[in-house]
């Protein structure tokens, strides 16, 4: 079976998504997906009670495999979350949707899966990103950037809530190794030969 490597965004592309997203709600959504490495259903299930601003942690309740975990909350995200809570005043879930009468789907007031997917797609489009960006792309990017920034793989595994280390090790194939940056021989060819022709 063919194994596809995950699509990963650069830090500049994530920054562009955050800068080009107009609604504060969507900025916070993208900040949580990328900054905490959350899955779509996990970001939809965040309650106000799950956030601990003093300890800078988010309690991910009943993630995949019905397991709880804690992930760090960035100072920047905490500031944004405080502004968002003040402006929107959600009651239970951080992200309230527009509940409408329909058969199937969610009957509570949480943001829908389609709503989350739409917000991410719109943000990537506004940022001019041509890569195929999905909700899970931000989770892949979270893991890859942490590894590139020097975090050990066991800690990344815990933050992602992975059962098996092999799942986390996939990110080693897409990360740029800081110790020995991978480059194309064209770069050295141009650098060397352009000097020689001067």
Catalytic one of 57, 59, 134, 162: 162
Catalytic one of 110, 139, 145, 157: 139
**Spatial distance between the Cα atoms of 198 and 191, rounded to a whole number of angstroms:** 11
Are 123 and 31 spatial neighbours (Cβ–Cβ below 8 Å)?
no
Catalytic one of 69, 134, 136, 176: 136
User: DSSP state, 123?
Assistant: H
39 catalytic, yes or no?
yes
Catalytic one of 57, 59, 64, 134: 64
Catalytic one of 39, 47, 57, 121: 39
Contacts of 30 (CB under 8 A, 6+ apart): 17, 18, 21, 119, 120, 123, 138
162 catalytic, yes or no?
yes
CA angle 69, 79, 45 (to 5 degrees): 35
139 catalytic, yes or no?
yes
What amino acid positions are annotated as catalytic residues?
A: 39, 64, 136, 139, 162, 171
């Amino acid at each position: 079976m063919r194994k596809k490597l995950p699509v990963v965004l650069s830090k500049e592309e994530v920054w562009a998504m955050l800068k080009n997203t107009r609604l504060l709600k969507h900025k916070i959504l993208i900040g949580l997906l990328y900054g905490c490495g959350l899955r779509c259903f996990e970001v939809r299930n965040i309650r106000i009670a799950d956030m601990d601003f003093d300890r800078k942690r988010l309690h991910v309740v009943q993630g995949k495999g019905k397991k709880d975990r804690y992930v760090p909350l960035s100072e920047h995200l905490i500031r944004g979350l405080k502004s968002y809570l003040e402006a929107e005043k959600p009651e239970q879930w951080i992200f309230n949707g527009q509940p409408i009468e329909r058969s199937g789907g969610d009957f509570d007031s949480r943001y829908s899966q389609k709503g989350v997917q739409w917000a991410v797609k719109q943000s990537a489009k506004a940022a001019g990103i041509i890569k195929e960006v999905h909700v899970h792309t931000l989770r892949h990017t979270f893991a890859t950037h942490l590894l590139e920034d020097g975090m050990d793989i066991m800690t990344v595994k815990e933050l992602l809530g992975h059962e098996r280390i092999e799942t986390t090790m996939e990110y080693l194939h897409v990360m740029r190794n800081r110790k020995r940056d991978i480059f194309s021989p064209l770069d050295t060819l141009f650098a060397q030969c352009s000097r020689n022709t001067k």
